[in-house]
Amino acid sequence: MTASTLSDSIDILHVSKRYAQQGGAPLAVLDDISLRVRAGEFVSVLGSSGCGKSTLLRLIAGLDTDYSGDIVVAGDKVRDTSLERGIVFQDHRLFPWLTASQNILAALRNAPLSAREKREAVAEHIALVGLKGFENAYPHQLSGGMAQRVAIARGLVNRPRVLLLDEPFGALDALTRGRLQNELQRIWEHERITMILVTHDVDEALYLGERVVTMAPRPGRIKRIVDVALPRPRERNDPRFIRLRDEVLADFAEQDGTRREPQEDRDDDRPNGGTRVPVASPPITEWRLAW
Amino acid sequence: MSLALFKRSSQSQQSADASCDCGAPASFRRAAQPRRPLLTRVDWRGAVLPVIAIVIWWAVSEAHVVKSGLLVSPAQVLATAWQQIESGALLKALSASLAREASGFVIGTLGGLLLGSALGFSRLATRMVGPSFDTFKQISLFAWIPLISVWFGLGDAAKVVFLSLAALLPVTAHTCDGIHAVPRAYIEVARAFRYSRWQLIRAVILPAALPSIFTGIYLALIYSWLATLGAEYLLVAGSGIGNTLIDGSEQFRMDLVLFGVIVVGVTGWALNALARAVERAIFARRFQSATR
């Protein structure tokens, strides 16, 4: 495609955000988040609902500027939105009064291109997301997957150096999701711009990301960063992939799995066969049947 | 009621999740679709009830069951109609009414668009003017007649003021609400693309609010036509179709009254059809749901 697809690095330095609550202590949404994303890297941010990952993405995009700490993109502090930072939302947010190509063209309104160049860029990106023939379709005539693809094309048409994706496939069915994950991977390999994908799907995070950043909720903080050093395209049945997935899932299970220790104690007891009650066993009122 | 008349073709609303580049439906390439002939396009079943009613009316009047001068036969109404049309009285009355309605509608709509936009875009204006306007809105339109008749008399000026008021209220309310109801999601998208305030208004807020604004204007058209009749009853100076009705009832000429009613009904229907045609022209294919 073009000779230079530039991308930017992102430095998130000790970012914290809190919401003032009515009649109570402020609610900490993000707590001291620090992360360095290399230029051209694909990072997945993984967490359950309410862990602040979408908030973090909005801060990087510049849609929200009320936080402490710094977000630096390619050496410049983020103060507001920018055409250099594209964003794709969970709901496609296409304007219903415009066709697919008009929606993509709307993103170019403030781009320093001539009308002809804009038209060419739109056609190029429609083809990139595989929607040739649907240029004149209105959003209500498109399926969810197709509309989201238009949204991705719209996010890319300004040739941003960073693309932020906020659970872009969350509203789609599983089959379409798989297909679009492949599309996104193909696009990333083609464009090689920095991408940050926020998701709650472990498989998606591991499939697409070079690194997976796990976040814990209340307050939102980074739990762990996992390096996914597997060749692309990744095999979901690859034993290494499965091992990584178990490792990442274990992170989330730990948050509510306090029953693990007592069971292990009981196992240890059996060889002795005595009547000694293990110290960590829960009281009888809290025993739960296995079925 | 006349939904069948305006059934949209569903061909262009198929959605297929094609991941291949081929196979896009022809409708997305802006092909024209042929229209079926009038005989099959219109649902003639809707005409059955009116026809039966007219037949019964004619039968009753022919049989002289009711011995009152107040029941006139359809033939008499037709004769009166013909006389009115021929003498040019209908044209005079209808054109007077419509001219007033048009002026009131235009003045009220323009004023309403301005006021509604001001209220929509300025939070300060909403806080300051909003409560007064909401209260004002609740006052029944006809309560203004005494005040208007004292200030403007009983002639055309007073009627146009009244009609402008009737049109102003719905346009203002719907314009303001339409602007306030633009989803934050679209505004964030515009922010992501660095739209200036003017670009935001022109490219996002106005198109998003347009259905609501159009609803307001449509209601203004209906209300101003209804108010035209009311104005002619209550501000009796001048000529108009309402005056034809009043004259008929004063002279106990039921044929004239019925004729007037029919004319009013047909005019209302025509205005409605005009509004629908404009709606289809503006909103064709863009929105899935019809506004009415």
Asked if B286 is an interface residue toward chain A (Cβ–Cβ < 8 A), one would say yes
Asked if B207 is an interface residue toward chain A (Cβ–Cβ < 8 A), one would say yes
Q: How confident is the model at residue B16 (pLDDT cuts 50, 70, 90)?
A: very low
Q: Is B290 helix (H, G, I), strand (E, B) or coil?
A: coil
Position B287 scores a pLDDT of: 59
Position B44 scores a pLDDT of: 85
Position B28 scores a pLDDT of: 61
The 8-class DSSP code of residue B285 comes to: T
A138 contacts in B (CB within 8 Å)?
A: 285-286
Asked if B39 is an interface residue toward chain A (Cβ–Cβ < 8 A), one would say no
B12 contacts in A (CB within 8 Å)?
A: 141
Asked if B210 is an interface residue toward chain A (Cβ–Cβ < 8 A), one would say yes
Distance from CA of B191 to the nearest CA of A (A): 7
What whole-number distance in Å separates Cα of residue B199 and Cα of residue A10? 29
The 8-class DSSP code of residue B13 comes to: G
Nearest to A134 among B28, B196, B208 (CB): B28
Q: How many CB pairs under 8 A join A and B?
A: 89
Element (H, E) at B58: helix B48-62
Whether residue A138 and residue B285 make contact (CB cut-off 8 A), yes or no, is: yes
What whole-number distance in Å separates Cα of residue B215 and Cα of residue B209? 10
Half-sphere exposure of A33 (CA within 13 A, CB side): 36
Cα dihedral A277, A281, A287, A290 in deg (nearest 10): -100
Distance from CA of B288 to the nearest CA of A (A): 6
Q: How confident is the model at residue B29 (pLDDT cuts 50, 70, 90)?
A: low
Nearest to A133 among B24, B193, B195 (CB): B24
- Locate B236 and state its tokens: 């009796």
Position A281 scores a pLDDT of: 64
What whole-number distance in Å separates Cα of residue B46 and Cα of residue B42? 9
The pLDDT tens digits of the residues spanning B101-122 come to: 999 999 999 999 999 999 999 8
- Please, where are the H alpha helices in B63-155? 74-86, 89-121, 123-138, 145-152
What whole-number distance in Å separates Cα of residue A86 and Cα of residue A164? 6
Position B248 scores a pLDDT of: 85
Position B88 scores a pLDDT of: 85
Whether residue A93 and residue B285 make contact (CB cut-off 8 A), yes or no, is: no
Position B161 scores a pLDDT of: 92
In A, what residues contact B, Cβ < 8 A? Answer: 61, 63, 81-83, 86-87, 89, 91, 93, 95-97, 106-107, 109-110, 127, 130-138, 140-143, 145-146, 158, 176, 179
Position B9 scores a pLDDT of: 38
What whole-number distance in Å separates Cα of residue A226 and Cα of residue A118? 40
Beta bridge partners of A27: A19
Residues B92, B93, B96, B99, CA torsion sign: negative
Q: Is B198 helix (H, G, I), strand (E, B) or coil?
A: helix
What whole-number distance in Å separates Cα of residue B166 and Cα of residue B150? 18
Nearest to A81 among B20, B194, B285 (CB): B194
The pLDDT tens digits of the residues spanning B66-89 come to: 777 778 888 888 888 888 888 888
Residue B185 in this model has a pLDDT that exceeds 90 = yes
A61 contacts in B (CB within 8 Å)?
A: 192
Position A254 scores a pLDDT of: 65
Contact assessment for residue B255 and residue B61, using Cβ atoms and an 8 Å cutoff: no
Taking residues B175-179, report their average pLDDT.
Answer: 94
Whether residue A81 and residue B17 make contact (CB cut-off 8 A), yes or no, is: no
Report the percent of chain B where pLDDT is more than 90.
37
Supply the mean pLDDT for chain B.
Answer: 82
Position B8 scores a pLDDT of: 40
The pLDDT tens digits of the residues spanning B222-262 come to: 999 999 988 888 887 778 888 888 888 888 888 888 888 88
Say how many residues make up chain B. 292
Among A147-161, B8-22, B184-198, B226-240, the range scoring the smallest mean pLDDT is: B8-22
**Best residue in B15, B182, B206 to probe A by mutation, most A CBs within 10 Å?**
B15
| End-to-end Cα spacing for chain A | 58
Residue B107, phi then psi, degrees to nearest 5: -60, -45
Position B219 scores a pLDDT of: 93
B residues 238-277 closer than 8 Å to A (CB)? none
Distance from CA of A255 to the nearest CA of B (A): 33
Position B33 scores a pLDDT of: 57
Contact assessment for residue A99 and residue B207, using Cβ atoms and an 8 Å cutoff: no
Taking residues B130-156, report their average pLDDT.
Answer: 88
Report the percent of chain B where pLDDT is more than 70.
84
**Best residue in A64, A109, A142 to probe B by mutation, most B CBs within 10 Å?**
A109
Residue B214 in this model has a pLDDT that exceeds 80 = yes
Parts of chain A with a pLDDT under 50: 1-4, 257-270, 272-274
* A98-111 burial code (b ≥16 CB/10 A, e <16): bbbbebbbbbbeeb
All residues at 6 or more sequence positions from A263 whose CB lies less than 8 Å from its CB, including other chains = none
The pLDDT tens digits of the residues spanning A264-286 come to: 444 444 454 445 555 556 667 76
Position B90 scores a pLDDT of: 86
Q: What is the CA radius of gyration of chain B?
A: 24
Ordered by where they begin, the domains of chain B are 82-283 (1.10.3720.10)
Strand order in the sheet with A27-37: A27-37, A10-19, A68-73, A76-77
More confident residue, B147 or A278: B147
Whether residue A133 and residue B22 make contact (CB cut-off 8 A), yes or no, is: yes
Distance from CA of B200 to the nearest CA of A (A): 11
The 8-class DSSP code of residue B33 comes to: -
Q: What is the CA radius of gyration of chain A?
A: 23
B9 contacts in A (CB within 8 Å)?
A: none
Position B290 scores a pLDDT of: 40
All residues at 6 or more sequence positions from A183 whose CB lies less than 8 Å from its CB, including other chains = A129, A130, A149, A152
